[in-house]
Amino acid sequence: MTASPAPIRLLLADDHPVVRAGLRAVLDAEPGFRVVAEAATAERAVELAAAGGFDVVLMDLQFGAGMHGSQATAAITAHPDAPHVLILTTYDSDADILAAVEAGAAGYLLKDAPPEELAAAVRTAAAGRSALAPAVAHRLMDRMRTPAEALTKRELEVLQLVGEGLSNLQISKRLFLSQATVKSHLVHIYAKLGVDSRTSAVAAATARRLIRR
């Protein structure tokens, strides 16, 4: 027998009990992992992470209500000695990926990932390296290759809200901006996407999977 190394201590943050149970089942079956705690809300995940005792946090992006996963990620990684945060979500839009990386996520996985890929990513994250799902990595490469039409993070935020049906006034309030700024972002978005209206911008962005639907 070799001496077992210290196990990787995990915190699961997802609002779906079934998903938490699934992650627990999959990861506990893996040697070297220990699921220490679960959080059903992003807020709770931040609390628990602040208390310490974790190596890796598995974080969903969409919680039913309250704080968003990327906000929680930012709050967690702001700490010194913070655990590594691994995003585990259903969607792979540019907007989501950029927000998560920006917030300090160590990796980005999709929920349809097979267990081995999941386990490998957790190990990678625990070692302090970046872990991107192949599909996600591919999107990022695409983005690099065509810098002309790459929307900035802020532009994607605005576009996302346009896609949800908000007016410029509503967007300006949501993002604490003036309407002038929202319009300004939209002008840039239209130019980059080669369109001339909000609805066609949403159509183009949806087709290119820039925003989530």
Partner DNA sequence: CCCGACATCAACCTTTCGATTGACCGGCCC
Partner DNA sequence: GGGCCGGTCAATCGAAAGGTTGATGTCGGG
Cα angle, residue 7 at apex, residues 2 and 9 outer, rounded to 5°: 180
How big is the chain by its Cα radius of gyration, in Å?
19
Task: Check residue 177 for interaction with DNA (CB under 7 A).
Answer: yes
Taking CA atoms, 25 is separated from 19, 21, 22, 44, 169, in Å, by: 10, 6, 5, 21, 46
Applying CB under 7 A, among 66, 78, 90, 167 the residue interacting with DNA is 167
Applying CB under 7 A, among 91, 184, 203, 208 the residue interacting with DNA is 184
Binding mask 129-158 for DNA (x = CB under 7 A): -----------------------xxxx---
- Residue 148 CA, distance from chain mean position: 24
Question: In terms of CB distance, is 138 or 154 closer to DNA?
Answer: 154
- Smallest gap, in angstroms, from Cβ of residue 197 to a copy of itself? 6
Task: Check residue 206 for interaction with DNA (CB under 7 A).
Answer: no
- Smallest gap, in angstroms, from Cβ of residue 87 to DNA? 20
H-helix or E-strand containing 132?
strand 131-132
Instruction: Give dist(CA 132, CA 118) in Å, integer.
Output: 10
Q: Mutual orientation of helices 153-163 and 94-102 as an angle, nearest 10°?
A: 130
- Smallest gap, in angstroms, from Cβ of residue 189 to a copy of itself? 13
Question: In terms of CB distance, is 156 or 204 closer to a copy of itself?
Answer: 204
Q: Could you tell which of a copy of itself, DNA, none binds residue 155, using a CB distance below 5 to 8 A set by kind?
A: DNA
Q: Mutual orientation of helices 69-78 and 42-51 as an angle, nearest 10°?
A: 20
Q: Which stretch binds DNA (CB under 7 A): 11-19, 112-120, 121-129, 172-180?
A: 172-180
Task: Check residue 38 for interaction with DNA (CB under 7 A).
Answer: no
- Smallest gap, in angstroms, from Cβ of residue 144 to DNA? 12
Q: Could you tell which of a copy of itself, DNA, none binds residue 104, using a CB distance below 5 to 8 A set by kind?
A: none
Question: Which class for 67: exposed (0-12), middle (13-18), buried (19 or more C-beta within 10 A)?
Answer: middle
Task: Check residue 194 for interaction with DNA (CB under 7 A).
Answer: no
Closest by CA position to 109, among listed 92, 127, 84, 126? 92
Binding residues vs DNA (CB under 7 A): 152-155, 167-169, 172, 175, 177-181, 183-187, 190, 196-199
